[in-house]
Amino acid sequence: MVKRDIHPSTLVCWVFDTLAIVAAFFISMLLRYGNEMSARMEDMSVLLIYSIFGYTLIFLWEGDAQDFWYKGKFKAFLSIVKKAFYLMVFLVIVLFFTKVAGDFSRAVIFLESAITVPVMYLFRSLLKNYMTTSRRKGNGSLKLLIITTPDKAPEIVKNFKDKRMWRYYIGGVVLCPEQESGFGPSNQCASMPRMVDGVPVVCDLRHVYGYCVRNVVDEVFVALPNLQNADEMVSKFSEMGVVTHFDLPLADRNDQVAMRMSNLLGNYFALSFYPNYLNGRMVIIKRVTDIIGSVIGLILTGIITVFLAPILLHESKGPLIFVQERAGKQGRIFKMYKFRSMYADAEEHKGELREENEMNGLMFKVENDPRVTKVGRFIRRTSLDELPQFFNVLKGDMSLVGTRPPTLDEYREYKGSYKRRLSMTPGMTGLWQVSGRSKITDFEEVVKLDLEYIDNWSFGLDLKIIFKTIGLAFSKKGGAV
């Protein structure tokens, strides 16, 4: 059996289940003791700890957290009933063997187990509805591009929708006639439908790579009868940092043995190619680190703003915070925040400085930019202008450490190999920033360092970059872009 990673959806499900356990405990205490609830809370709090610990063991043992998203209402209810029963048995056994059973009300134990069922079902249903709605809007979901033939497209799109795969949002379909599975000119483009079950047909196979560079595509699902171009697809999509899944047309998709041998995507067994694979544990660790770091950073930002804001606003008129649209993960557009270090009309004069650009390639940098204020030079040199980006990190648009998010002008000029820079969430700092960014004048070198970070990412590397960034902030090296 293929080892299953802890997916973020599993963690979210556990958090909501744990909240349901806590809610059931307090409801049962209120029903049992009424006004005396607060007086008995200290003695009974150990029961809550046992409940959370016991349920966590049951949750991990059952291992059906991800399946919950696809179960029908009745099966989902029965699964919760089974877990609540196991929890009650666990509490009775533990309290008996620790010889403290007499210290706890049996009524609370039974009430908690019974109340857990409707409360957990309610919490899970609310979570499921929210995630399904969020998926439909494309918020926080992986944008999937389906490449298939016209006859198979309706079945595949319907299958993904029926499976309620909230992690995926079908961004578009690429249709290829069965007799034209290559990348040459198509003779049937004019007769192709424009929509497949509400999903737009975005292009034909000849233009799929250009489409992926210019648009948000996280993963592609390829279901073609002729995969003679599979090597080219894997190479091209991997170059862009896009995950590629190939449908394996097995006879019986419900075969349990085959299911354990293959990656199941929707109702399809898929052979998947990941250009940079991060398992669930790594994703969770990175996101938790981002949340903790951004909260601490925002507290620090609030303190510094008290002293910095009057100086910035006194030197030049304009807003305190500079807001600029940037391209994030796989090209998602987001608003990035900085303390304003330039005069308010700086963007209007950018074109006048094009000939003074010191960077070779798509980036723009002028060492002695006349648009930068005196205070702006100081906050750029010390990276204080970057502090508002902790809000971007908290939102999830950015990470503490990652690749540099390009401006929209830069992103529109990208080619396939550059797109892989955006296969991970962009960061406030990164390998490029701590590798002498003020001395690097070639965009290709920036791309090389960003891809080196992506290919060698680890929690230890993030910590190393963070400490180096702090050190550079107190030195005269570096400079913001």
Distance between CA 273 and CA 258 in Å, rounded? Answer: 19
Instruction: Please tell me the predicted confidence (pLDDT) of residue 60.
Output: 77
Q: Given CA atoms 161, 165, 169, 171 in this order, what sign does their dihedral have?
A: negative
> Closest Cα partner for 55 from 9, 27, 91, 26?
91
Helices (H), 34-162: 37-62, 73-97, 106-137, 153-162
3-class secondary-structure state, position 415: coil
DSSP 425: -
Q: In the beta sheet, which residues pair with residue 223?
A: 148
Q: Are 362 and 459 in contact (CB under 8 A)?
A: no
Report how far apart, in Å, the C-alpha atoms of 33 and of each of 20, 23, 37, 101 are: 20, 15, 5, 18
Helices and strands in the chain: count of H runs, count of E runs: 15, 12
Instruction: Please tell me the predicted confidence (pLDDT) of residue 259.
Output: 44
Tell me the whole-structure pTM to 2 decimals.
Answer: 0.69
Q: Are 450 and 421 in contact (CB under 8 A)?
A: yes
As averages over each run of 10 residues, the pLDDT of the chain (481 residues) reads 48 85 89 76 78 86 62 80 89 74 69 90 84 62 89 87 71 77 46 79 88 91 82 87 83 48 62 72 83 94 93 87 92 92 73 64 69 85 90 93 90 86 91 75 84 88 90 64 48
Instruction: Please tell me the predicted confidence (pLDDT) of residue 125.
Output: 85
CA torsion angle 290 291 296 301 (round to 10): 80
Instruction: Please tell me the predicted confidence (pLDDT) of residue 325.
Output: 93
Strand 399-401 with 333-339, pairing: unpaired
Q: In the numeric block, which tokens belong to residue 362?
A: 């798509």
Instruction: Please tell me the predicted confidence (pLDDT) of residue 113.
Output: 86
Instruction: Please tell me the predicted confidence (pLDDT) of residue 191.
Output: 52
Report how far apart, in Å, the C-alpha atoms of 191 and of each of 54, 177, 183, 223, 465 are: 59, 10, 18, 20, 53
Task: Summarize the chain as % helix, strand, coil (round to 5).
Answer: 55, 15, 30
Q: In the numeric block, which tokens belong to residue 156?
A: 């595949």
DSSP 141: S
Kindly give, in sequence order, each residue whose CB lies less than 8 Å from that of residue 216, ignoring residues fewer than 6 positions away: 143, 171, 330, 331, 332
Q: In the beta sheet, which residues pair with residue 273?
A: 244
Distance between CA 109 and CA 356 in Å, rounded? Answer: 74
Instruction: Please tell me the predicted confidence (pLDDT) of residue 33.
Output: 80
Give the length of the chain: 481
Q: How many C-beta neighbours within 10 Å does residue 306 have?
A: 8
Distance between CA 284 and CA 288 in Å, rounded? Answer: 6
Q: Given CA atoms 316, 317, 318, 324 in this order, what sign does their dihedral have?
A: negative
Q: Are 253 and 431 in contact (CB under 8 A)?
A: no
Locate the DSSP E strands across 224-280: 243-247, 263-265, 268-273
Instruction: Please tell me the predicted confidence (pLDDT) of residue 280.
Output: 65
Report how far apart, in Å, the C-alpha atoms of 461 and of each of 283, 286, 430, 457, 458 are: 14, 11, 10, 6, 5
Q: For tokens 């981002």, what's the residue?
A: 290
Q: In the numeric block, which tokens belong to residue 108?
A: 């609370």
Q: Exposed (0-12), middle (13-18) or buried (19+): which is 161, by Cβ within 10 Å?
A: middle
Backbone φ and ψ of 360, nearest 5°: -90, 120
Instruction: Please tell me the predicted confidence (pLDDT) of residue 184.
Output: 46
Distance between CA 276 and CA 378 in Å, rounded? Answer: 37
Domains by residue range for the chain, with CATH: 8-136 (no CATH), 138-273 (3.40.50.720), 280-473 (no CATH)
